[in-house]
Amino acid sequence: MDGNVTGINSEAAVTLPLAQGWQAGIGARLPWLGSEVAAQPLANPRWLGWSDDLAETLSLNRSLDLLALFAGQQSLPWPGFAQVYSGHQFGGYTPRLGDGRGLHLGQRGEYELFAKGSGPTPYSRGGDGRAVLRSAVREFLISEALHHLGVATTRALAVIGSDTPVWREEQETGAITVRVSCSHLRFGHFEYFFYTRQQDQLEALIRDSIDTLFPQLAAEPEPILAWLVDVVQRTAETVADWQAFGFCHGVLNTDNMSILGETFDFGPFAFLNQFDSGHICNHSDHTGRYAFDQQPGIGLWNLNKLALTLTPFLSETQLRDALAEYEPALVARYLARMGARLGLEDPTEEDLALITELLNLMGRSGVDYHLTLRQLGQCDPSGQDTPLHRQFQGQSDFDAWWLRYQQRLGGGTVASDWGQQRNRANPAILLRTHLAQQAIAAAEQGNNRPLMRLHRALTRPYDPRPQDHPFIEEAPSWSRSLTLSCSS
């Protein structure tokens, strides 16, 4: 896959009967869920990025036919399908949204494949239906990065560049991310059918989702309640993972909330560099509604909006009880993650003070969140003068924290594989904004090698190979204050 972006590598051009292994998917089962749409082909498409392990899962080869399919130049025996949904955007309800710049192509096994950036649809609301290269590359990289960190996310099979001009602040080129998930249903789908008073469709959508995505719940005495509880728990766990890994989503509207609890729709996302609990990664988020420390509350706010759509089927008490599962599930998951990062056995809520104190200390010292935790895991916890002490030099608070930490660990020596265990919980490589920017700059100049090198490194965040070590670095000062807008 390495190589200049000169088109398709001829040895990769294996031609398969295109429709083999594909099924039409949810649009064929529930045609009222959206509209059939023909993609608008990209000009001179070429592969920029490709995920080998996902391709293997999907039994797909990087063929010319597949490139033509993803770029809208060929189609399967059925048309593309754009779904309708609505959603609460920055707190206000938008009654009609939908796939305005992407199409569902079909399913392979349990996975849906979606081409994001494939041209206008009935839901484009005046937009051009396109995605530009920089945003498509960022979505490709972060999807795969989060997956390999162990965070629930939609995935990305490929990113495709083209010569199609696309206007944003200046002329850029169009690109497509091929997104993969078992379901692209968002909270906003249920809101759409609820607020348009299409109760039969709403119920059919819930039933279809239970049958296809949560079949184990079909035999429950109250399948819809069990389904909501499951969605609440998945959402709580994913949000907890974001908080533990310092991931800031940026646009947590209900139309970007996955029914599977997957991280969904990547716009101005960022990982924290220094620990700044109020960090706002979205340049357009003037009030900080989606700031890093607001994400847990917003997750619950969004679940409330989903729960409202179930009022025709569930009592108020049932809805409240289901939503009450959110906080304990979130805290349990956060404790499990942070406990593993710090080596705390059987962490409980009492450990939250110890964890928070460390985060505050990190914030005050301006040290790198990820590298500091990685380094902490490599210190001898019975020691008094560790490399970490030198990082926090001059901070007597750190000495006090260290003492409490030692007491919590119980003193004495730790297991011989302590450092290895900590490394398995503390990633060394993250998709920092500047790393993505460097890969994008090269891809824009026609060279996708840096992109593929970075992608490969992101598949081993806990266990980097020697050639991946250049990616283990703090963000340079020029990139620390970068915020991104939704213009993608």
Residues in the chain: 488
Residue type present at position 116: K
Please identify, among the stretches 12-20, 82-90, 114-122, 260-268, the one whose residues bind Mg ion according to the rule CB under 5 A: 260-268
Tell me which residue has its CB nearest to Mg ion.
265
Selection from ligand ATP, Mg ion, none that 99 binds (CB < 5 to 8 A by kind) is: ligand ATP
- Among 74, 124, 201, 365, the residue binding ligand ATP under the rule CB under 6 A is 124
CB of 97 to Mg ion, least distance (A): 8
Task: Give the nearest residue (CB) to ligand ATP.
Answer: 127
Binding residue (CB under 5 A) for Mg ion from 112, 265, 368, 468: 265
CB 35, min distance to Mg ion, A:
17
Among ligand ATP, Mg ion, none, the one that 21 touches (CB under a kind-dependent 5 to 8 A) is: none
Residue among 114 and 405 whose Cβ is closer to ligand ATP: 114
Bridging pattern class, strands 270-271 and 247-248: antiparallel
Q: Which two tokens stand for residue 146?
A: 């989060």
Using CB under 6 A as the binding rule, whether residue 98 contacts ligand ATP is answered as: yes
Asked if residues 107 and 25 have their Cβ atoms less than 8 Å apart, the reply is yes
Q: Does 471 bind ligand ATP (CB under 6 A)?
A: no
Using rule CB under 6 A, residue 174 touches ligand ATP: no
Q: How far is the CB of 285 from ligand ATP (least distance, A)?
A: 13
Q: Is 276 in the site for Mg ion (CB under 5 A)?
A: no
Spatial CB neighbours of 409, under 8 Å, sequence gap ≥ 6 = 343, 344, 381
Q: Could you give the CA distance from residue 175 to residue 449 in angstroms, rounded to a whole number?
A: 17
* Catalytic site includes residue 255: yes
Q: Is 100 annotated as a binding residue?
A: yes
Among 7, 31, 91, 127, binds ligand ATP (CB under 6 A): 127
> Is position 304 annotated in a ligand binding site?
no
Is there a contact between 3 and 84 (Cβ–Cβ < 8 Å)? Answer: no
| Minimum distance of ligand ATP from residue 119's CB (angstroms) | 9
Is 134 a binding residue for ligand ATP by CB under 6 A? The answer is: no
* Shortest CB 184 distance to ligand ATP, Å: 7
Query: What are the backbone dihedrals phi and psi of residue 282, each rounded to the nearest 5 degrees, phi first?
Result: -95, 115
- Applying CB under 6 A, the site for ligand ATP has a residue count of 19
Is 447 annotated for ligand binding? no
User: Is position 135 an interface residue for Mg ion (rule: CB under 5 A)?
Assistant: no
Choose, by CB under 6 A, the member of 66, 67, 69, 97 that binds ligand ATP: 97
Q: Could you tell me how many residues of this chain bind Mg ion (CB under 5 A)? A: 2
Q: Which of 267, 299, 427, 461 binds ligand ATP (CB under 6 A)?
A: 267
Binding part of the chain for ligand ATP, among 3-11, 92-100, 340-348, 413-421 by CB under 6 A, reads: 92-100
Q: What is the 3-state secondary structure (H, E, C) of the chain?
A: CCCECCCCCHHHCCCCCCCCCCECCHHHHCHHHEEEECCCCCCCCEEEEECHHHHHHHCCCCCHHHHHHHCCCCCCCCCEEEECCCEEECCEEECCCCCCCEEEEEEECCEEEEEECCCCCCCCCCCCCCEEHHHHHHHHHHHHHHHHHCCCECEEEEEEEEEEEEECCCEEEEEEEEEEECCCCEHHHHHHHHHCCCHHHHHHHHHHHHHHHCHHHCCCCCHHHHHHHHHHHHHHHHHHHHHHHCEECCCCCHHHCECCCCECCCCCCEECCECCCCCCCECCCCCCCCCHHHHHHHHHHHHHHHHHCCCCCCCHHHHHHHHCCHHHHHHHHHHHHHHHHHCCCCCCCCHHHHHHHHHHHHHHHCCEHHHHHHHHCCCCCCCCCCHHHHHCCCCHHHHHHHHHHHHHHCCCCCCCCHHHHHHCCCCCCCCCHHHHHHHHHHHHCCECHHHHHHHHHHCCCCCCCHHHHHHCCCCCHHHHCCCECCCC
Cα distances (angstroms) measured from residue 46 to each of 8, 66, 119, 326, 397: 6, 11, 17, 43, 54
116 annotated as ligand-binding: yes
* Out of 99, 172, 191, 230, the residue judged to bind ligand ATP by CB under 6 A: 99
Which stretch in 102-110, 147-155, 259-267, 296-304 sits in contact with Mg ion by CB under 5 A? 259-267
Catalytic member of 255, 276, 285, 468: 255
Q: Which stretch binds Mg ion (CB under 5 A): 206-214, 256-264, 351-359, 477-485?
A: 256-264
Q: Which is nearer to ligand ATP, 130 or 189 (CB)?
A: 130
* 256 makes contact with Mg ion (CB under 5 A): yes
* Residue 102, annotated as binding a ligand: no
Strand-pair partners of 167: 171
For residue 94, the minimal CB distance to Mg ion (Å) is 11
Pick 129 or 299: Cβ nearer ligand ATP: 129
Smallest gap from Cβ 30 to ligand ATP, in A, equals: 18
305 is in an annotated binding site: no
Binding positions for ATP:
98, 100-101, 116, 128-129, 179, 186, 265
Summarize as ranges the residues that interact with Mg ion (CB under 5 A): 256, 265
Binding positions:
98, 100-101, 116, 128-129, 179, 186, 256, 265
Summarize as ranges the residues that interact with ligand ATP (CB under 6 A): 97-102, 116, 123-124, 127-130, 251, 255-256, 265, 267, 486
Q: Which residues are catalytic?
A: 255
